[in-house]
Amino acid sequence: MDVTEPATRARRSDATRAAILRAARERFATDGYDRATIRAIAADARIDPSMVMRYYGSKEGLFAAAAEFDLRLPDLAEVPPDRLGETLTRHFVRRWEADGTLVALLRAAATNPGAAERMRGVFADQLAAAVARSVAEPATAARRAGLVASQILGLALTRYVVRLPPVVDLDPEELTAWVGPTIQRYLTQPLPPSHASGG
Amino acid sequence: MDVTEPATRARRSDATRAAILRAARERFATDGYDRATIRAIAADARIDPSMVMRYYGSKEGLFAAAAEFDLRLPDLAEVPPDRLGETLTRHFVRRWEADGTLVALLRAAATNPGAAERMRGVFADQLAAAVARSVAEPATAARRAGLVASQILGLALTRYVVRLPPVVDLDPEELTAWVGPTIQRYLTQPLPPSHASGG
DNA sequence: ACTGTAGGCCAACACGTGTTGACATCGCCT
DNA sequence: AGGCGATGTCAACACGTGTTGGCCTACAGT
């Protein structure tokens, strides 16, 4: 019974598991949750649909595994304060240009409550946490992170999902030049004169 | 055969037609295209599913009718140039706070190609046209309209679809104070120093 | 009162879906 | 070699979907 790695033992099926996950990410990204069928995913992975069930339990379970997403945000405390917007914008564009998982999550979040919940989690946990490290008054961090999310997700939506031509045509550097200052302002601008001051 | 109004004659079924459309808009807005079933829409309208088919031909046809959307943008040529962002932002928030059609279109556009096409149409025709009337160099109007769309749709996405708490919590005036300047900048800021100048 | 037509309902079809269980096969361990 | 769990395949189930055609009912025109 005493093997060297009882838990981390490399299983023979790992390749299959990975193939399923890869196919699932692609399908979810292009078709959304509902239209992405287990049969299609299984066909892409050259595997029987029942294997998907065996390894991931259900379609929901498969999606949960496929939509695990790490924004890989840099430590904003180490970024020069006047380059926060530029840095963050460039990072996001690079990140989802290389990995379709976020687009899959975005497409699914439009109709699937669980996906929307996960989307909230990604931005609440990762983005808000990163923003908190770069903001003067911690009380405003959540609000600022929300505004940043609205612009960043709007960019992803118009560029990769709706595919608005003028947004698709901008190259990453132009994109950064235009929306970088927006992000910068959301992060560093003092609170607007509030009529009904909150916290 | 010569009635007074041959085409505009009020049919007895108009109430039913309207009820179907109203129910369809609600269902599409909350559930998205795929999860909104004809049976559910018909039940909401207290009507038989087959009536939906008779009046709108197919589910696609029903959606096309339900997703007809007019942004009702003001004439931006009559708005003081330094209040464009504020005006536009406030208008959008009011507009979709009162009418869920745009949210229905947004949810559907995430997975349905036809809906995405229509979304592109709405913003290309209506927004770009309005923006063109307020911008100095007409050549940049499409790009500026695209950037405006990215922030405006991002706001709608995070506030009404994903429901990110910090964005949901902002009241319309705070929202205007924060994102108004962003829109203003996209509309009036000179082009950023372009490294590879396009058109 | 009779008829034609529009409005409405019911039952069913054909299809694709997620999911399940029974059966075959591979490869490691003793 | 023999046994046994992990891998994988096949066929089917139960269900919900969009869609269709037949039938009943109420009302307008004569």
Compute the radius of gyration of chain A from its Cα atoms: 20
Place of tokens 């997703």: B67
Last-in-domain residue among A66, A93, A126: A66
Nucleic acid strand D within 7 Å of A170 CB: no
CB pair distance less than 8 Å for B124 and A164: yes
Q: Are A109 and A178 part of one and the same domain?
A: yes
A113 contact partners, CB below 8 Å, separation of at least 6: none
Domain assignment of residue B110, yes or no: yes
Q: Are A18 and A116 part of one and the same domain?
A: no
Domain assignment of residue A34, yes or no: yes
| pLDDT at position B192 | 57
Domain assignment of residue B6, yes or no: no
Q: Do residues A69 and A102 touch, judged by C-beta distance below 8 A? A: yes
Q: Do residues B31 and B20 touch, judged by C-beta distance below 8 A? A: no
| pLDDT at position A142 | 95
CA B53 from chain center: how many Å? 25
Find the Å distance, CA of residue A51 to C1' of nucleotide C23. 15
Q: List chain A pLDDT tens, one digit each, 199 residues.
A: 333 334 445 677 789 999 999 999 999 999 999 999 999 999 999 999 999 999 999 999 999 999 999 999 999 999 999 999 999 999 999 999 999 999 999 999 999 999 999 999 999 899 999 999 999 889 999 999 999 999 999 999 999 999 999 999 999 999 999 999 999 999 999 875 554 444 3
> Which CATH number covers residue A104?
1.10.357
CB pair distance less than 8 Å for A179 and B35: no
Domain assignment of residue B46, yes or no: yes
Q: Are B131 and B45 part of one and the same domain?
A: no
Segment B94-141, tens digit of pLDDT: 999 999 999 999 999 999 999 999 999 999 899 999 999 999 889 999
B24 CA: distance to closest CA in chain A (Å): 15
Q: Are A83 and A137 part of one and the same domain?
A: yes
Domain assignment of residue B4, yes or no: no
* Domain span including residue A152: 76-188
Segment A83-124, tens digit of pLDDT: 999 999 999 999 999 999 999 999 999 999 999 999 999 998
Q: Are B104 and B173 part of one and the same domain?
A: yes
Nucleic acid strand D within 7 Å of A114 CB: no
Q: Are A114 and A183 part of one and the same domain?
A: yes
Residue in B119, B146, B153 nearest the CB of A166: B146
Last-in-domain residue among B66, B95, B110: B66
Residue in B34, B162, B177 nearest the CB of A192: B177
Q: Are A113 and A52 part of one and the same domain?
A: no
What chain A residue is nearest to B123 in terms of C-alpha separation?
A164
Q: Are A165 and A123 part of one and the same domain?
A: yes
Domain assignment of residue B114, yes or no: yes
| pLDDT at position A136 | 86
Q: Do residues B107 and B159 touch, judged by C-beta distance below 8 A? A: no
Q: Are A41 and A93 part of one and the same domain?
A: no
DSSP character at residue A138: G
Tell me the C-alpha distance between B28 and B40, whole Å.
11
Q: Are B62 and B86 part of one and the same domain?
A: no
Q: Are B21 and B47 part of one and the same domain?
A: yes
Q: Which two tokens stand for residue A26?
A: 């692609």
| pLDDT at position B13 | 77
Averaged pLDDT, groups of 10, chain B, 199 residues long: 43 88 96 96 96 96 95 96 97 94 95 95 94 92 97 98 97 97 96 50
What is the end-to-end Cα distance of chain A in Å, rounded? Answer: 58
Tell me the C-alpha distance between A89 and B145, whole Å.
19
Find the Å distance, CA of residue A38 to C1' of nucleotide C30. 40
Domain assignment of residue A129, yes or no: yes
Q: Are B38 and B129 part of one and the same domain?
A: no
In chain B, how many domains are there? 2
> Which CATH number covers residue B57?
1.10.10.60
